Structure 1
Protein backbone atom coordinates (compact mmCIF):
# COMPACT_ATOMS: atom_id res chain seq x y z
CA UNK A 1 0.00 0.00 0.00
CA UNK A 2 2.89 2.35 0.83
CA UNK A 3 6.19 1.50 -0.87
CA UNK A 4 9.45 3.42 -0.39
CA UNK A 5 12.32 2.33 -2.62
CA UNK A 6 15.95 3.51 -2.80
CA UNK A 7 14.96 6.80 -1.21
CA UNK A 8 17.66 9.38 -0.54
CA UNK A 9 17.41 13.07 0.17
CA UNK A 10 19.95 15.88 0.31
CA UNK A 11 19.46 19.51 1.32
CA UNK A 12 21.43 22.22 -0.44
CA UNK A 13 22.58 25.41 1.27
CA UNK A 14 24.55 27.46 -1.22
CA UNK A 15 27.44 25.27 -2.32
CA UNK A 16 27.08 22.92 0.64
CA UNK A 17 25.11 19.69 0.56
CA UNK A 18 23.79 17.83 3.60
CA UNK A 19 22.59 14.26 3.24
CA UNK A 20 19.67 13.50 5.56
CA UNK A 21 18.37 10.18 4.18
CA UNK A 22 20.33 7.38 2.52
CA UNK A 23 18.95 4.48 0.46
CA UNK A 24 15.73 3.88 2.41
CA UNK A 25 13.60 0.85 1.48
CA UNK A 26 10.43 -0.45 3.15
CA UNK A 27 6.85 -1.52 2.45
CA UNK A 28 3.80 -0.91 4.61
CA UNK A 29 0.76 -3.11 4.07
CA UNK A 30 -2.84 -1.94 4.05
CA UNK A 31 -4.19 -1.98 7.60
CA UNK A 32 -0.82 -1.94 9.37
CA UNK A 33 -0.06 0.42 12.24
CA UNK A 34 3.66 1.18 12.06
CA UNK A 35 5.98 3.37 14.12
CA UNK A 36 8.68 5.46 12.47
CA UNK A 37 11.09 5.73 15.39
CA UNK A 38 14.10 7.99 15.66
CA UNK A 39 15.76 10.64 17.77
CA UNK A 40 16.08 14.28 16.78
CA UNK A 41 18.23 14.52 13.65
CA UNK A 42 17.57 10.93 12.56
CA UNK A 43 15.74 12.03 9.42
CA UNK A 44 12.24 10.93 10.45
CA UNK A 45 10.64 14.36 9.93
CA UNK A 46 12.16 14.62 6.45
CA UNK A 47 10.94 11.12 5.62
CA UNK A 48 7.45 12.02 6.83
CA UNK A 49 7.39 15.14 4.65
CA UNK A 50 8.53 13.12 1.64
CA UNK A 51 5.92 10.40 2.16
CA UNK A 52 3.22 13.04 2.56
CA UNK A 53 4.22 14.68 -0.71
CA UNK A 54 5.29 17.93 0.95
CA UNK A 55 8.79 17.58 -0.54
CA UNK A 56 10.24 15.70 -3.48
CA UNK A 57 13.10 13.25 -2.86
CA UNK A 58 16.53 13.72 -4.37
CA UNK A 59 16.48 10.07 -5.42
CA UNK A 60 14.11 7.13 -5.21
CA UNK A 61 10.40 6.43 -5.33
CA UNK A 62 7.39 6.68 -3.02
CA UNK A 63 4.20 4.91 -4.06
CA UNK A 64 0.91 5.22 -2.20
CA UNK A 65 -2.09 3.24 -3.46
CA UNK A 66 -0.01 2.38 -6.52
CA UNK A 67 0.73 6.01 -7.44
CA UNK A 68 4.29 7.37 -7.63
CA UNK A 69 3.82 10.66 -5.80
CA UNK A 70 7.28 12.03 -6.62
CA UNK A 71 6.21 12.31 -10.28
CA UNK A 72 3.14 14.44 -9.56
CA UNK A 73 2.97 18.20 -10.02
CA UNK A 74 1.73 20.41 -7.16
CA UNK A 75 -1.91 20.43 -8.29
CA UNK A 76 -2.06 16.65 -8.60
CA UNK A 77 -0.29 16.25 -5.26
CA UNK A 78 -2.78 18.56 -3.54
CA UNK A 79 -5.70 16.56 -4.92
CA UNK A 80 -4.01 13.26 -4.04
CA UNK A 81 -3.43 14.39 -0.43
CA UNK A 82 -7.08 15.46 -0.07
CA UNK A 83 -8.27 11.98 -1.00
CA UNK A 84 -5.56 9.60 0.21
CA UNK A 85 -3.70 11.16 3.15
CA UNK A 86 -4.77 12.12 6.66
CA UNK A 87 -2.63 14.06 9.16
CA UNK A 88 -2.53 14.08 12.94
CA UNK A 89 -0.27 16.80 14.35
CA UNK A 90 1.54 17.11 17.66
CA UNK A 91 0.11 20.60 18.16
CA UNK A 92 -3.39 19.62 16.92
CA UNK A 93 -3.55 22.45 14.31
CA UNK A 94 -7.22 23.17 14.96
CA UNK A 95 -8.74 26.43 13.70
CA UNK A 96 -9.71 28.39 16.84
CA UNK A 97 -12.75 30.24 15.45
CA UNK A 98 -14.38 27.05 14.14
CA UNK A 99 -16.34 24.67 16.34
CA UNK A 100 -15.17 21.12 16.93
CA UNK A 101 -17.64 19.85 14.33
CA UNK A 102 -16.60 22.48 11.79
CA UNK A 103 -12.93 21.63 12.26
CA UNK A 104 -13.65 17.96 11.57
CA UNK A 105 -15.80 18.77 8.54
CA UNK A 106 -13.22 21.04 6.91
CA UNK A 107 -11.50 18.47 4.62
CA UNK A 108 -14.90 17.59 3.15
CA UNK A 109 -15.64 21.25 2.44
CA UNK A 110 -12.68 21.26 0.02
CA UNK A 111 -14.14 18.16 -1.65
CA UNK A 112 -17.49 19.85 -2.24
CA UNK A 113 -19.45 17.47 -0.01
CA UNK A 114 -22.92 18.64 1.09
CA UNK A 115 -23.34 20.18 4.53
CA UNK A 116 -25.68 17.42 5.73
CA UNK A 117 -23.27 14.64 4.76
CA UNK A 118 -20.40 16.57 6.37
CA UNK A 119 -22.29 17.09 9.61
CA UNK A 120 -23.50 13.49 9.85
CA UNK A 121 -20.02 12.13 9.22
CA UNK A 122 -18.41 14.53 11.72
CA UNK A 123 -20.89 13.62 14.47
CA UNK A 124 -20.33 9.92 13.80
CA UNK A 125 -16.57 10.36 14.11
CA UNK A 126 -16.94 12.38 17.31
CA UNK A 127 -18.74 9.43 18.82
CA UNK A 128 -16.04 7.04 17.61
CA UNK A 129 -13.24 9.10 19.20
CA UNK A 130 -15.15 9.45 22.48
CA UNK A 131 -16.20 13.10 22.62
CA UNK A 132 -19.69 13.09 21.11
CA UNK A 133 -20.93 15.84 23.43
CA UNK A 134 -18.34 18.42 22.36
CA UNK A 135 -19.42 19.14 18.77
CA UNK A 136 -20.39 22.81 19.23
CA UNK A 137 -17.55 23.80 21.54
CA UNK A 138 -14.43 25.63 20.36
CA UNK A 139 -10.90 24.19 20.61
CA UNK A 140 -9.99 26.52 23.49
CA UNK A 141 -12.75 24.92 25.57
CA UNK A 142 -11.15 21.46 25.31
CA UNK A 143 -8.26 19.76 27.07
CA UNK A 144 -5.16 18.76 25.13
CA UNK A 145 -6.29 15.16 24.91
CA UNK A 146 -9.73 16.20 23.66
CA UNK A 147 -8.18 18.48 21.03
CA UNK A 148 -6.07 15.59 19.82
CA UNK A 149 -9.20 13.45 19.53
CA UNK A 150 -10.68 16.17 17.31
CA UNK A 151 -7.50 16.15 15.22
CA UNK A 152 -7.79 12.37 14.87
CA UNK A 153 -11.44 12.62 13.80
CA UNK A 154 -10.55 15.29 11.23
CA UNK A 155 -7.79 13.07 9.81
CA UNK A 156 -10.33 10.28 9.22
CA UNK A 157 -13.19 12.29 7.73
CA UNK A 158 -12.16 11.48 4.13
CA UNK A 159 -11.40 7.81 4.96
CA UNK A 160 -7.85 8.21 3.64
CA UNK A 161 -5.54 5.49 2.39
CA UNK A 162 -2.96 6.28 5.07
CA UNK A 163 -2.87 8.48 8.18
CA UNK A 164 0.44 10.06 9.20
CA UNK A 165 0.61 10.93 12.90
CA UNK A 166 3.50 13.28 13.67
CA UNK A 167 4.45 12.90 17.36
CA UNK A 168 0.73 12.66 18.24
CA UNK A 169 1.38 12.32 21.99
CA UNK A 170 4.26 14.80 22.26
CA UNK A 171 2.19 17.45 24.09
CA UNK A 172 0.31 15.07 26.36
CA UNK A 173 0.80 13.66 29.85
CA UNK A 174 1.47 9.95 30.31
CA UNK A 175 -2.14 8.98 31.06
CA UNK A 176 -3.53 10.88 28.09
CA UNK A 177 -0.73 9.54 25.87
CA UNK A 178 -1.85 6.00 26.68
CA UNK A 179 -5.48 6.89 25.93
CA UNK A 180 -4.60 8.39 22.54
CA UNK A 181 -2.47 5.41 21.50
CA UNK A 182 -5.27 3.09 22.68
CA UNK A 183 -7.66 5.07 20.47
CA UNK A 184 -5.42 4.83 17.38
CA UNK A 185 -4.97 1.09 17.90
CA UNK A 186 -8.73 0.67 18.33
CA UNK A 187 -9.46 2.60 15.11
CA UNK A 188 -6.86 0.53 13.29
CA UNK A 189 -8.47 -2.69 14.47
CA UNK A 190 -12.05 -1.55 13.91
CA UNK A 191 -11.70 -0.02 10.44
CA UNK A 192 -8.48 -1.54 9.07
CA UNK A 193 -6.96 1.93 8.74
CA UNK A 194 -3.27 2.28 7.96
CA UNK A 195 -1.32 4.45 10.40
CA UNK A 196 2.29 5.62 10.35
CA UNK A 197 3.14 7.07 13.76
CA UNK A 198 6.27 9.22 13.85
CA UNK A 199 7.77 9.25 17.32
CA UNK A 200 10.98 9.46 19.34
CA UNK A 201 9.39 7.55 22.24
CA UNK A 202 10.19 3.84 22.44
CA UNK A 203 7.16 3.22 24.67
CA UNK A 204 4.85 4.59 21.97
CA UNK A 205 6.60 2.64 19.21
CA UNK A 206 6.28 -0.63 21.13
CA UNK A 207 2.49 -0.34 21.03
CA UNK A 208 2.43 -0.60 17.22
CA UNK A 209 2.62 -3.70 15.03
CA UNK A 210 6.02 -2.91 13.53
CA UNK A 211 8.87 -0.45 14.06
CA UNK A 212 10.89 1.30 11.35
CA UNK A 213 13.92 2.74 13.14
CA UNK A 214 16.01 5.54 11.68
CA UNK A 215 19.46 6.64 12.82
CA UNK A 216 21.58 9.33 11.14
CA UNK A 217 19.54 9.09 7.95
CA UNK A 218 19.70 5.30 7.61
CA UNK A 219 16.99 2.72 8.19
CA UNK A 220 18.72 0.48 10.73
CA UNK A 221 15.74 -1.75 11.48
CA UNK A 222 12.56 -2.22 9.47
CA UNK A 223 11.28 -5.51 10.82
CA UNK A 224 10.94 -5.12 14.60
CA UNK A 225 7.62 -6.28 15.99
CA UNK A 226 6.03 -4.75 19.04
CA UNK A 227 8.00 -5.72 22.14
CA UNK A 228 11.08 -6.93 20.28
CA UNK A 229 13.27 -4.22 21.81
CA UNK A 230 12.86 -5.27 25.43
Structure 2
Protein backbone atom coordinates (compact mmCIF):
# COMPACT_ATOMS: atom_id res chain seq x y z
CA UNK A 1 0.00 0.00 0.00
CA UNK A 2 2.94 2.30 0.85
CA UNK A 3 6.18 1.34 -0.88
CA UNK A 4 9.49 3.12 -0.50
CA UNK A 5 11.92 1.82 -3.09
CA UNK A 6 15.68 2.48 -2.96
CA UNK A 7 15.09 6.00 -1.74
CA UNK A 8 18.03 8.39 -1.36
CA UNK A 9 18.05 12.11 -0.79
CA UNK A 10 20.64 14.83 -0.49
CA UNK A 11 20.56 18.59 0.04
CA UNK A 12 22.82 21.09 -1.74
CA UNK A 13 25.58 22.42 0.50
CA UNK A 14 27.67 25.03 -1.26
CA UNK A 15 29.42 23.37 -4.17
CA UNK A 16 28.76 19.91 -2.71
CA UNK A 17 25.75 18.07 -1.31
CA UNK A 18 24.87 16.51 2.04
CA UNK A 19 23.44 12.99 1.94
CA UNK A 20 20.62 12.55 4.45
CA UNK A 21 19.00 9.30 3.26
CA UNK A 22 20.64 6.34 1.52
CA UNK A 23 18.99 3.32 -0.09
CA UNK A 24 15.82 3.26 2.04
CA UNK A 25 13.61 0.34 1.06
CA UNK A 26 10.47 -0.89 2.88
CA UNK A 27 6.77 -1.57 2.47
CA UNK A 28 3.78 -0.84 4.71
CA UNK A 29 0.73 -3.02 4.12
CA UNK A 30 -2.84 -1.76 4.25
CA UNK A 31 -4.10 -1.80 7.84
CA UNK A 32 -0.66 -1.80 9.46
CA UNK A 33 0.39 0.48 12.30
CA UNK A 34 4.09 1.16 11.90
CA UNK A 35 6.54 3.36 13.81
CA UNK A 36 9.26 5.26 11.98
CA UNK A 37 11.78 5.55 14.79
CA UNK A 38 14.90 7.69 14.85
CA UNK A 39 16.76 10.27 16.88
CA UNK A 40 17.32 13.86 15.81
CA UNK A 41 19.41 13.88 12.65
CA UNK A 42 18.52 10.33 11.66
CA UNK A 43 16.64 11.47 8.54
CA UNK A 44 13.12 10.58 9.69
CA UNK A 45 11.70 14.08 9.13
CA UNK A 46 13.13 14.16 5.62
CA UNK A 47 11.68 10.71 4.94
CA UNK A 48 8.28 11.84 6.21
CA UNK A 49 8.32 14.89 3.93
CA UNK A 50 9.22 12.69 0.96
CA UNK A 51 6.49 10.13 1.71
CA UNK A 52 3.96 12.94 2.10
CA UNK A 53 4.92 14.34 -1.29
CA UNK A 54 6.22 17.59 0.19
CA UNK A 55 9.65 17.05 -1.40
CA UNK A 56 10.99 15.11 -4.38
CA UNK A 57 13.62 12.41 -3.71
CA UNK A 58 17.07 12.59 -5.28
CA UNK A 59 16.78 8.91 -6.18
CA UNK A 60 14.23 6.13 -5.81
CA UNK A 61 10.45 6.11 -5.76
CA UNK A 62 7.47 6.24 -3.41
CA UNK A 63 4.17 4.53 -4.16
CA UNK A 64 0.95 5.11 -2.26
CA UNK A 65 -2.13 3.09 -3.24
CA UNK A 66 -0.23 1.92 -6.31
CA UNK A 67 0.62 5.42 -7.58
CA UNK A 68 4.14 6.88 -7.85
CA UNK A 69 3.88 10.20 -6.07
CA UNK A 70 7.46 11.14 -6.97
CA UNK A 71 6.40 11.38 -10.61
CA UNK A 72 3.41 13.67 -9.96
CA UNK A 73 3.31 17.39 -10.68
CA UNK A 74 2.73 19.81 -7.80
CA UNK A 75 -0.93 20.19 -8.78
CA UNK A 76 -1.40 16.43 -8.98
CA UNK A 77 0.25 16.02 -5.58
CA UNK A 78 -2.02 18.63 -4.01
CA UNK A 79 -5.12 16.80 -5.22
CA UNK A 80 -3.68 13.41 -4.24
CA UNK A 81 -2.86 14.53 -0.69
CA UNK A 82 -6.40 15.82 -0.17
CA UNK A 83 -7.90 12.39 -0.86
CA UNK A 84 -5.22 9.81 -0.03
CA UNK A 85 -3.10 11.16 2.83
CA UNK A 86 -4.04 12.21 6.35
CA UNK A 87 -1.78 14.18 8.71
CA UNK A 88 -1.56 14.35 12.49
CA UNK A 89 0.82 17.05 13.74
CA UNK A 90 2.73 17.45 17.00
CA UNK A 91 1.38 20.98 17.47
CA UNK A 92 -2.18 20.04 16.33
CA UNK A 93 -2.30 22.82 13.67
CA UNK A 94 -5.93 23.70 14.36
CA UNK A 95 -7.42 26.97 13.11
CA UNK A 96 -8.27 28.97 16.25
CA UNK A 97 -11.25 30.93 14.90
CA UNK A 98 -13.02 27.77 13.67
CA UNK A 99 -14.98 25.48 15.95
CA UNK A 100 -13.86 21.92 16.59
CA UNK A 101 -16.42 20.66 14.07
CA UNK A 102 -15.42 23.23 11.46
CA UNK A 103 -11.75 22.26 11.83
CA UNK A 104 -12.61 18.63 11.17
CA UNK A 105 -14.88 19.54 8.24
CA UNK A 106 -12.28 21.71 6.52
CA UNK A 107 -10.66 19.05 4.27
CA UNK A 108 -14.10 18.24 2.87
CA UNK A 109 -14.69 21.87 1.91
CA UNK A 110 -11.92 21.51 -0.67
CA UNK A 111 -13.67 18.43 -2.03
CA UNK A 112 -16.87 20.39 -2.61
CA UNK A 113 -19.12 18.31 -0.33
CA UNK A 114 -22.40 19.83 0.84
CA UNK A 115 -22.42 21.38 4.31
CA UNK A 116 -24.92 18.84 5.68
CA UNK A 117 -22.72 15.91 4.60
CA UNK A 118 -19.61 17.59 6.03
CA UNK A 119 -21.32 18.25 9.35
CA UNK A 120 -22.61 14.69 9.71
CA UNK A 121 -19.22 13.14 8.94
CA UNK A 122 -17.40 15.51 11.29
CA UNK A 123 -19.78 14.87 14.19
CA UNK A 124 -19.55 11.12 13.63
CA UNK A 125 -15.74 11.21 13.78
CA UNK A 126 -15.64 13.54 16.77
CA UNK A 127 -17.94 11.15 18.60
CA UNK A 128 -15.62 8.31 17.64
CA UNK A 129 -12.60 10.06 19.18
CA UNK A 130 -14.44 10.92 22.39
CA UNK A 131 -15.43 14.56 21.77
CA UNK A 132 -19.19 14.24 21.21
CA UNK A 133 -20.05 17.10 23.58
CA UNK A 134 -17.41 19.53 22.36
CA UNK A 135 -18.15 19.92 18.65
CA UNK A 136 -19.06 23.62 18.84
CA UNK A 137 -16.22 24.66 21.13
CA UNK A 138 -13.07 26.39 19.94
CA UNK A 139 -9.57 24.85 20.12
CA UNK A 140 -8.50 27.25 22.89
CA UNK A 141 -11.22 25.80 25.12
CA UNK A 142 -9.74 22.30 24.91
CA UNK A 143 -6.83 20.58 26.60
CA UNK A 144 -3.80 19.47 24.59
CA UNK A 145 -5.01 15.88 24.48
CA UNK A 146 -8.45 16.98 23.29
CA UNK A 147 -6.93 19.16 20.59
CA UNK A 148 -4.93 16.18 19.36
CA UNK A 149 -8.15 14.15 19.20
CA UNK A 150 -9.57 16.88 16.94
CA UNK A 151 -6.45 16.60 14.78
CA UNK A 152 -6.92 12.83 14.58
CA UNK A 153 -10.56 13.20 13.54
CA UNK A 154 -9.57 15.75 10.88
CA UNK A 155 -6.92 13.37 9.51
CA UNK A 156 -9.56 10.69 8.97
CA UNK A 157 -12.35 12.80 7.46
CA UNK A 158 -11.33 12.10 3.82
CA UNK A 159 -10.92 8.35 4.48
CA UNK A 160 -7.25 8.44 3.41
CA UNK A 161 -5.15 5.47 2.31
CA UNK A 162 -2.52 6.28 4.97
CA UNK A 163 -2.24 8.63 7.93
CA UNK A 164 1.17 10.08 8.81
CA UNK A 165 1.47 11.09 12.46
CA UNK A 166 4.45 13.37 13.09
CA UNK A 167 5.48 13.09 16.76
CA UNK A 168 1.77 13.00 17.72
CA UNK A 169 2.47 12.82 21.47
CA UNK A 170 5.40 15.23 21.55
CA UNK A 171 3.44 17.99 23.34
CA UNK A 172 1.59 15.73 25.76
CA UNK A 173 2.20 14.45 29.27
CA UNK A 174 2.76 10.75 29.87
CA UNK A 175 -0.85 9.93 30.78
CA UNK A 176 -2.31 11.80 27.81
CA UNK A 177 0.33 10.29 25.52
CA UNK A 178 -0.85 6.80 26.50
CA UNK A 179 -4.49 7.79 25.87
CA UNK A 180 -3.71 9.11 22.38
CA UNK A 181 -1.72 6.00 21.44
CA UNK A 182 -4.59 3.87 22.80
CA UNK A 183 -6.95 5.76 20.49
CA UNK A 184 -4.71 5.25 17.44
CA UNK A 185 -4.43 1.53 18.23
CA UNK A 186 -8.23 1.26 18.56
CA UNK A 187 -8.74 3.02 15.21
CA UNK A 188 -6.16 0.77 13.59
CA UNK A 189 -7.52 -2.48 14.99
CA UNK A 190 -11.25 -1.78 14.64
CA UNK A 191 -11.30 0.29 11.45
CA UNK A 192 -8.20 -0.97 9.64
CA UNK A 193 -6.70 2.52 9.30
CA UNK A 194 -3.07 2.52 8.17
CA UNK A 195 -0.82 4.61 10.41
CA UNK A 196 2.83 5.56 10.06
CA UNK A 197 3.88 7.17 13.34
CA UNK A 198 7.08 9.20 13.22
CA UNK A 199 8.69 9.35 16.65
CA UNK A 200 11.96 9.49 18.56
CA UNK A 201 10.37 7.83 21.60
CA UNK A 202 10.99 4.12 22.12
CA UNK A 203 7.98 3.95 24.47
CA UNK A 204 5.70 5.09 21.65
CA UNK A 205 7.36 2.95 18.97
CA UNK A 206 7.17 -0.31 20.91
CA UNK A 207 3.35 -0.06 21.10
CA UNK A 208 3.03 -0.30 17.33
CA UNK A 209 3.05 -3.56 15.38
CA UNK A 210 6.30 -2.93 13.52
CA UNK A 211 9.24 -0.57 13.77
CA UNK A 212 11.18 0.95 10.89
CA UNK A 213 14.29 2.44 12.42
CA UNK A 214 16.64 5.00 10.91
CA UNK A 215 20.16 5.85 11.97
CA UNK A 216 22.29 8.44 10.19
CA UNK A 217 20.16 8.20 7.06
CA UNK A 218 20.25 4.40 6.81
CA UNK A 219 17.64 1.78 7.59
CA UNK A 220 18.65 -0.50 10.45
CA UNK A 221 17.64 -4.13 10.76
CA UNK A 222 14.88 -5.19 13.09
CA UNK A 223 11.16 -4.75 12.81
CA UNK A 224 8.91 -6.35 15.40
CA UNK A 225 7.88 -3.83 18.04
CA UNK A 226 8.31 -6.56 20.65
CA UNK A 227 12.05 -6.30 20.12
CA UNK A 228 12.01 -3.03 22.02
CA UNK A 229 9.50 -4.04 24.64
CA UNK A 230 12.00 -4.51 27.46
CA UNK A 231 14.76 -2.23 26.30
CA UNK A 232 15.34 1.46 26.80
CA UNK A 233 17.20 3.63 24.35
CA UNK A 234 20.22 3.69 26.62
CA UNK A 235 20.28 -0.08 27.07
CA UNK A 236 19.58 -1.06 23.47
CA UNK A 237 22.26 -3.11 21.79
CA UNK A 238 23.61 -1.63 18.55
CA UNK A 239 21.61 -2.62 15.51
CA UNK A 240 23.11 -3.42 12.13
CA UNK A 241 22.86 -0.71 9.52
CA UNK A 242 21.65 -1.82 6.12
CA UNK A 243 24.03 -0.11 3.70
CA UNK A 244 24.21 -0.52 -0.07
Q: Please tell me whether residue 182 in structure 1 is matched to residue 186 in structure 2.
A: no
After superposition, give the CA deviation of every residue in 1:140-165 in whole Å (9 maximum; x if it has no partner): 00000000000000000000000000
Q: Which runs of 5+ in 1 are unaligned?
A: none
In structure 2, the residue matched to 1:117 is 117
In structure 1, the residue matched to 2:54 is 54
Q: Please tell me whether residue 84 in structure 1 is matched to residue 84 in structure 2.
A: yes
Hey, what's the Cα distance between the residues in 2 that align with 1:14 and 1:78? Answer: 30
Size of the aligned set, in residue pairs, is 229
Tell me by how many angstroms 1:14 deviates.
Answer: 2.7
3-state secondary structure, aligned to 1:224: coil
After superposition, give the CA deviation of every residue in 1:107-164 in whole Å (9 maximum; x if it has no partner): 0000001100000000000110001111000000000000000000000000000000
1:1-230 → structure 2 map (5 Å cutoff): 1-221=1-221, 223-229=222-228, 230=230
Q: Which runs of 5+ in 2 are unaligned?
A: 231-244
Structure 2-normalised TM-score? 0.93
After superposition, give the CA deviation of every residue in 1:20-70 in whole Å (9 maximum; x if it has no partner): 000000000000000000000000000000000000000001000000000
Tell me by how many angstroms 1:183 deviates.
Answer: 0.1
Hey, what's the Cα distance between the residues in 2 that align with 1:56 and 1:213? Answer: 21
Tell me by how many angstroms 1:15 deviates.
Answer: 1.1
Hey, what's the Cα distance between the residues in 2 that align with 1:159 and 1:69? Answer: 18
**Off by >2 Å, runs of 4+ in structure 1:** none
Over the aligned positions, Cα root-mean-square deviation in angstroms equals: 0.6
